[in-house]
Amino acid sequence: MLATIYILGWCLGGMSLSMMAPAFFALATGEDKHAMAFLNSSVALFFLAGGLIFALHQEKLVIGRKQQFLIVPGVWFLLPLGAAIPLFLTGTADNFSEAYFEAVSGFTTTGATLIENLSDIPSSVILWRAELQWLGGLTTILTLSFLLGRLMGMELFGRDTRSVILANTGSSLDLEKTVATILPLYLGLTILCCVLLLISGIPAFDALCLSLSTLSTGGFMPREGPISLYGSPLAELTLTIFMFFAAVSIIWVKALVELNKNILARTREPLWIAITILVLGLIFSASILMESGNTGFSTFVHIVTLEVASAASLVTTTGFVFENTDQFSVPYLLLLVIALIGGGRYSTAGGIKFNRVLIMFDLSKRELQKLLYPHGTHPVRYGNEERDEYVRRSIWSIFTITILFLVATLLILSYLGVPLNAALMASVSSFSNFGPAYEMARLDAGDSFLALAEMGPGVHIVLCVAMIAGRVETLVVLGLFNLTIWRKS
């Protein structure tokens, strides 16, 4: 228990220091009142974190299985509480429950929001929302690599994790190695994305916020309106490329940077994600072109790039709106399926994950082959790597638990008065950390969907739990209630 408190203390300390950026920005832009809100929140969290760290720094702390099961949900429930304080003090939210919803949505990179007009929100708060998403994306990858990989078995994620994930004993030194491996990649991609957006003509503040949201696949916008209002096809292309990088495994990105041909050749997931983006983009483009009739070459190219960018925003669970909603809408069922599948493993994207869906397809194919050829040998492979029975059982377990969790969330939301179609989309979009999917469905459906801001605090709390469960992984949620684990840990 002491190790859990110690780690959470360091996390709160990091959260307090991260508030200094919007505080200084608010001072620089003349938002003195909002600067004090961030400074006061930062100081309060800093003293709380410092007290926890100082009290336990001389203890011999080991992160065992029990501590892992406590740290993961503790991080995702506790840190948004701290992040919500400045949102409440600045008046961004009417009450603390709304501020907590906004903080959870940002930190889990879901991108759902109760804010109805961004033009009324101070720039420092917009920066804080974008920064919060970026921190949540980093926490997602670190949680998956340092804790969840070993907690549920490295083989569940693949043997290639050993080339990136260095932690294996649960010590603070291993955590430092994991951070030192992942942070440069994540930060480097963010800086590169921001620089390219600046080159493409995006204003500096917007470029910073967009790059933070892009690499976290968060989807918070720095201003009202779609991306197309910037009038920069180069910016749309840049966002498409970096949304793809954010939605594929950090292992694959590292292999690409190091030109590790072995891992690149064996990994199918990025290829399938890219194919899905291109196919959806071409389908959307064909639909727009048929409605608009004859167009010039430059207009044709821009439509294609815009629709591919819109498809990337959907597949990666980022949720950026690239064009006006009266020109672009996604069928409800397609949006539901895309949200449920999500992006890649070891990425900031949400959903069940592409690799799990691909392996389930391979499993289904194997079972069909066994019916046709009962005495044959039918191994399940992912790329060039054969998967053992443990991996197959784990993936089916995760899928089954996910469906059961979504059904439970759907029933609770329906009980709280949310219409069935809206409840289903709200459940899936929250669990898949793809909050803008609900708003896309609502704008297409009309009055049958309530806006998130119009829902009661009970619904907001349920959706917060769903967003956190999507980040924590359902097996960890079950582990918290497994008495056997607590007896043996």
Per-residue pLDDT, 53:
81
User: Which percentage of the chain shows pLDDT scores above 70?
Assistant: 81
Residue 159 has pLDDT above 50, yes or no: no
| The length of the chain, given as a count of residues | 489
Per-residue pLDDT, 43:
93
- What's the rounded mean pLDDT across residues 188-194? 95
Give how far Cα 253 sits from Cα of 190, 245, 281, 364, Å: 13, 7, 23, 29
For CA atoms 6, 7, 10, 15, give the dihedral sign. negative
- pLDDT digit string, tens, across residues 323-363: 776 556 788 888 899 999 988 888 899 888 888 888 787 77
Residue 384 has pLDDT above 70, yes or no: no
- pLDDT digit string, tens, across residues 400-411: 888 999 999 999
The 10 Å CB-count burial string (b at 16+, else e) for 191-211 is: ebbbebbbebebeebbbbbbb
Per-residue pLDDT, 485:
52
Residue 392 has pLDDT above 70, yes or no: no
- pLDDT digit string, tens, across residues 288-335: 877 776 667 777 788 888 889 999 999 999 988 887 765 567 888 888
Residue 478 has pLDDT above 70, yes or no: no
Per-residue pLDDT, 369:
74
Mean pLDDT rounded to a whole number for the chain = 82
Distance CA 240, CA 193 (A): 10
Per-residue pLDDT, 89:
92
φ, ψ (nearest 5 deg) of residue 387: -105, 135
- pLDDT digit string, tens, across residues 421-476: 999 999 999 999 998 999 888 877 766 788 888 898 999 999 999 999 888 876 56
Per-residue pLDDT, 279:
93
CA dihedral 213, 217, 221, 222 (to 10 degrees): 0
